[in-house]
């Protein structure tokens, strides 16, 4: 798959890169970081022009993210039918409204594996679209121009850079899952301990 995409980029340039990052932003598992670093290296080799390619890719990825936000937004009714009124749903919604900006920003370039779920949650929890676009644009600019810039800097050695960045992203995703699981475990054990205490007190009375 990656080889096929790279051949298409060197043949057709920025429009293909734009289509790839757009589809990737909708959840199709394309190797986005790998492709962006490669595009940076191709710019150094004068195969692509860095500014046009960067702008096309940035526009397309932001459009893709907005579309997946919209999917979450319009799926809200369906999700609410199942979870509305539950304590967990309100908790998740308020947590996202508090930490949403940071999550959107960091998942654009650092923990890219959960970028699409974050877009969907942002839409579902009615996180402000203006703020979503702001954090999205900031994060994606780092992804396109920062990672692409590393590809540009390392030129024909871009594969080593890309390998490193992809693995950092996977490692961070693992750490986030581990931390999430631990936090939930602690929170739920505290809640159930308090519940047991209340039960004991009421039985004494």
Partner 1 sequence: MTPSRQRTLVLGLILLGVVFVGFFGLRFFRAFREFRGHRPPPFPPADAQPAETNVELIRDWMTIGFVSHTYRTPPNLLYKALDIPPRGNEDKSLQQLNDEFFPNQPGYVLETVKAAILANQPIPTAQPPENAIPPAAP
How is the chain split among helix, strand and coil, in percent rounded to 5? Answer: 90, 0, 10
Is 90 near partner 1 (CB under 8 A)? no
Closest CA to 25 of 99, 112, 97, 96: 112
Contacts with 42 (C-beta within 8 Å, 6 or more apart), sequence order: 9, 10, 48, 151
**Which of 28, 80, 179, 194 is close enough to bind partner 1 by CB under 8 A?**
179
Cα separations in angstroms, 159 against 29, 79, 120: 19, 41, 31
- Binding of partner 1 at residue 47 (CB under 8 A)? yes
Stretch binding partner 1 (CB under 8 A), from 24-32, 71-79, 129-137, 163-171: 163-171
Nearer Cβ to partner 1, position 102 or 182? Answer: 182
Residue 176 engages partner 1 in binding (rule: CB under 8 A)? yes
Q: Which stretch binds partner 1 (CB under 8 A): 7-15, 49-57, 99-107, 131-139?
A: 7-15
Round to whole Å and give the CA distance between 15 and 86.
45
Q: Contact between 154 and partner 1 (CB under 8 A)?
A: yes
Q: Is 95 among the residues that bind partner 1 (CB under 8 A)?
A: no
Please say whether the beta carbons of 5 and 116 come within 8 A.
Answer: no
Contact 169, 110 (CB under 8 A): yes
Should residue 204 be labelled a site residue for partner 1 when binding is judged by CB under 8 A? no
Residue 201 lies near partner 1 (rule: CB under 8 A):
no
Contacting residue, 80, 160, 193, 199, with partner 1 by CB under 8 A: 160
Residues near partner 1 (CB under 8 A) are 2-4, 6-7, 10-11, 44-47, 88, 153-157, 160-161, 163-164, 167-171, 173-182, 184-185, 188, 192
């Amino acid at each position: 798959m990656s080889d096929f995409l790279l051949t298409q980029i060197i043949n057709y340039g920025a429009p293909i890169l734009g289509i790839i990052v757009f589809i990737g932003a909708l959840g199709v598992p394309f190797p986005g970081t790998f492709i962006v670093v490669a595009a940076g290296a191709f710019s150094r080799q004068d195969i692509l022009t860095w500014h046009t390619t960067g702008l096309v890719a940035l526009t397309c990825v932001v459009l893709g993210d907005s579309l997946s936000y919209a999917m979450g937004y319009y799926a809200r009714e369906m999700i609410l039918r199942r979870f509305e009124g539950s304590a967990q749903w309100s908790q998740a919604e308020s947590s996202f409204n508090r930490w949403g900006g940071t999550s959107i920003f960091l998942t654009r370039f650092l923990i890219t594996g959960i970028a699409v779920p974050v877009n969907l949650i942002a839409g579902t929890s009615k996180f402000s679209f203006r703020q979503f676009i702001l954090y999205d644009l900031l994060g994606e600019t780092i992804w396109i121009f920062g990672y692409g810039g590393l590809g540009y800097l390392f030129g024909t050695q871009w594969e080593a850079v890309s390998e490193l960045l992809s693995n950092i992203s996977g490692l961070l995703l693992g750490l986030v899952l581990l931390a999430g699981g631990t936090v939930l475990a602690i929170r739920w054990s505290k809640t159930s301990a308090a519940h047991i205490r209340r039960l004991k007190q009421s039985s004494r009375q």
